[in-house]
Amino acid sequence: MKNKSGGIENLIRRMLKKHSSPLMLIQEDVLERQFRAFRKALPEVTPYYAIKANPYPGIIKKFIELGAGFDVASANEMNVVLELGASHDKIIFANTIKSHEDMRSACKKKVKLMTFDNESELYKIAKACPGAKVIIRIKVANIGSIVELSLKFGADPEQSISLLKKARSLGLKPMGVSFHVGSQCTNSENYLQALEVSSVIFNEAKQSGIFLNILDIGGGFPIKHFDADNHLTFERMASQIRKKLQRLFDKNVKFIAEPGRFFAGPAGILVTQVIGRAFRNNKNYYYLNDGLYGDFSGIVFDHCKYEFKTLKRGQRFLSTLAGPTCDSFDTISLSEDLSELDVGNVVYVKNIGAYSCASAVPNFNGFKPAKIVMC
């Protein structure tokens, strides 16, 4: 299905004849399109899908089929991708703080590539998974990113060499450097600065007899949430990143990345329907059968803004959208220009496949998140 308004609306109508709403439609061809776009723009970089963005089994199976690796943050995530057919050597345990039990599980299942950012973690890894391959995650700038990820993770770059030496002394195998510039990053300078810093660490490590050969450039690659978004595109950003990789690093270095939103986000369409309406505060209030506790959870946890569309056409009025629960917090948007809607009318959102159903609360107030349908 082509990503045009008419095609999407016809798809929604077809799906509503087969399924009741709310529905999270995952377009398989868009998953493949995003994967191909990534590989075309960054052919030297192997993508490891960050399954936290959307761990739906159909999505994981698709990326296994396409040859992607996987970024997991827990033994549970690891077990999901392994059970679906992923190879243990195409998984990175990319949480810098891991429980002893999870590391033991990873070691038992031969998932031995993992990140760290502090000395205490190295002792834990050495005890739970002797001989593991470790990558140091460094703190880098997150300027302009919607979700900052260096607030909680990342070693100061100045500590890198001493930590890599400590890893070696504990019998671990120091393999490389990783960083994350923040989620939905529209500032390419974050990547470029991080690559410069990483290059310095590679060279200093070599002088210390530690030969690193993996660079993990993380995720954060931007997508459009609104049709009119005009921020820096992934393709332009990737062009700058690629030039820097080629200039700064030897040909024997393996580059990997952890795209999550970039892969899953554009593939998702959330389809909701109006279950009630009122006139409050001098504007229309529409109550939908999904809300902040469900698949609009990205508004809260991902600081995301969405473009709301309707199948019904007509004069637009300032309107409020609210979720179905009995909590006033469950107000999706206070100011949307929408056609006048009736009970049963459809409100849908594109580009919502990441950090939506993944963080939805199951059954709060008895309301289930949207049914996920691959199409």
Residue 239 lies in a domain: yes
Distance from C-alpha of 181 to C-alpha of 142, rounded to nearest angstrom = 5
pLDDT score for 2: 41
Based on the fold, state whether residues 206 and 315 are members of the same structural domain: no
Query: Where is the domain boundary, 238, 265, 292?
Result: 265
**Structural domain tally of the chain?**
2
Q: What is the CATH number of the domain that holds 199?
A: 3.20.20.10
Residue 156 lies in a domain: yes
The CA-to-CA distance between both ends of the chain, in Å, stands at 9
Distance from C-alpha of 347 to C-alpha of 50, rounded to nearest angstrom = 29
Overall average pLDDT of the 330-337 stretch: 97
User: In this model, does residue 149 exceed pLDDT 80?
Assistant: no
pLDDT in tens, 252-291: 999 999 999 999 999 999 999 999 999 999 999 999 999 9
pLDDT in tens, 73-82: 999 999 999 9
Mean pLDDT of the chain: 94
User: In this model, does residue 3 exceed pLDDT 50?
Assistant: no
Distance from C-alpha of 133 to C-alpha of 81, rounded to nearest angstrom = 20
Distance from C-alpha of 348 to C-alpha of 309, rounded to nearest angstrom = 5
Distance from C-alpha of 360 to C-alpha of 324, rounded to nearest angstrom = 14
pLDDT score for 4: 58
Burial of 285 (0-12, 13-18, 19+ CB in 10 A): middle
Based on the fold, state whether residues 333 and 220 are members of the same structural domain: no
Positive or negative torsion for Cα 117, 120, 122, 124: negative
User: In this model, does residue 212 exceed pLDDT 90?
Assistant: yes
Q: Which helix (H) or strand (E) holds 104?
A: helix 100-108
For 24: left if phi > 0, alpha if psi spans -120 to 50, otherwise beta; the answer is beta
Q: Which residues participate in catalysis according to the annotation?
A: 326
Residue 12 lies in a domain: no
**pLDDT confidence bin for 142, thresholds 50/70/90:** low
User: Parallel, antiparallel, or unpaired: how do β-strands 113-116 and 133-137 relate?
Assistant: parallel
Residue 8 lies in a domain: no
Based on the fold, state whether residues 195 and 100 are members of the same structural domain: yes
Distance from C-alpha of 152 to C-alpha of 150, rounded to nearest angstrom = 5
Domain hosting residue 95, numbered range: 29-265
